[in-house]
Amino acid sequence: MKQSLFNLIALLLLPLLPITTLGSPSDSTSLPSPRKWDKRVHQRYEGWERLRPTHVKYQYAGGMGVSAVGIGWDYGKRRQWESDFLVGFLPGKYADKFRLTFTVKQSYIPWSMSFDKHWALEPFYCGLYVTTIAGEEFWKKEPGRYPNGYYNFSTKMRPYIFIGQRMNFNLKNSIVKHVAMFYEISSCELYIISKATNSSLKMKDILRISFGVKVQLFKDND
């Protein structure tokens, strides 16, 4: 059981290792050597343009509430990095009352494979995100009314790791560059530790699947 848990963690974290060898995503604007199958190029934003969101996202499930929507920024020599901020909601039927969630998400997309001028596949990407839920009933640190160590986890914030795939469809439009459909498989630290300490839990008990749409804004500066 412990070996299978180790394999899961290794599977989810191994793709993150190249991040440390790539250097800072913004340390250079020079293009890498051409790849026939990877058509992504640097946007070369300058000044205040760097603050302009490059895409919007909608995500269903994934620990962010029932649904979440937000904006994001891509960067890097091949736009292989993405940072997102999403706001989600949890209807009252799934909680004591309507709740809002807030998520900060970081993704690394090492490859993109173009089939023609319209279709491109991102066969693998990975990353992490932290989500929090609004409400004074939740806490980051264990309240003093509980015995020390009674609750070892925050009820307000939850970190996740994930892997996923995306399919992009390029558009001939001055505002929308492409639309992407994606799915992700994720797990949080609470689920992983629970699996390590409870052999009766199955992999399906600790993994979550989510779906979403990404709309890439603006054309390349060709």
8 vs 72, more confident: 72
> Residue 41 falls within a domain, yes or no?
no
Least confident of 100-109, 132-141, 154-163: 132-141
Residue 15 has a pLDDT of 42
Band (30; pLDDT cuts 50, 70, 90): very low
- CA-nearest of 192, 216, 188, 217 to 203 is 192
Domain range for residue 188? Answer: 2-14+51-217
Is the pTM value of this prediction over 0.85?
Answer: no
Q: What is the pLDDT at residue 145?
A: 52
Classify residue 151: in a domain, yes or no. Answer: yes
Instruction: Tell whether the model's pLDDT for residue 1 goes beyond 60.
Output: no
Answer whether 66's CB lies under 8 Å from 91's CB.
yes
Residue 109 lies inside a defined structural domain of this protein: yes
DSSP readout, 51-85? GS--EEEEEE-SSS-SEEEEEEEEESTTS-EEEEE
218: tokens are 């603006």
Instruction: Kindly state whether residue 188 falls inside one of the protein's structural domains.
Output: yes
Q: What pLDDT was estimated at residue 156? A: 79
What average pLDDT does the segment 24-41 reach?
56
92-124 tens-digit pLDDT = 888 888 999 999 999 999 999 998 888 999 999
Q: Is the residue at 222 inside a domain?
A: no
Classify residue 172: in a domain, yes or no: yes
The tokens of 190 are what?
């609470």
**Contact assessment for residue 106 and residue 85, using Cβ atoms and an 8 Å cutoff:** no
pLDDT for the residue numbered 51: 84
Confidence category of residue 181, pLDDT binned at 50, 70, 90: very high
d(CA 94, CA 90): 6
Q: Is residue 26 part of a domain?
A: no
Q: Where are the beta strands (DSSP E) in 80-207?
A: 81-90, 99-108, 113-114, 119-133, 157-170, 176-188
Number of domains observed in the structure of the chain: 1
Among the residue ranges 33-47, 102-116, 161-175, 197-211, the one predicted with the least confidence is: 33-47
pLDDT attached to residue 42 = 65
Q: How far apart are CA 75 and CA 106, in angstroms?
A: 11
Counted residue by residue, the chain has a size of 222
**Domain of residue 164, CATH code:** 2.40.160
Indicate whether 25 belongs to any domain. Answer: no
Contact assessment for residue 120 and residue 87, using Cβ atoms and an 8 Å cutoff: no
Q: Across the chain, what does the average pLDDT equal?
A: 80
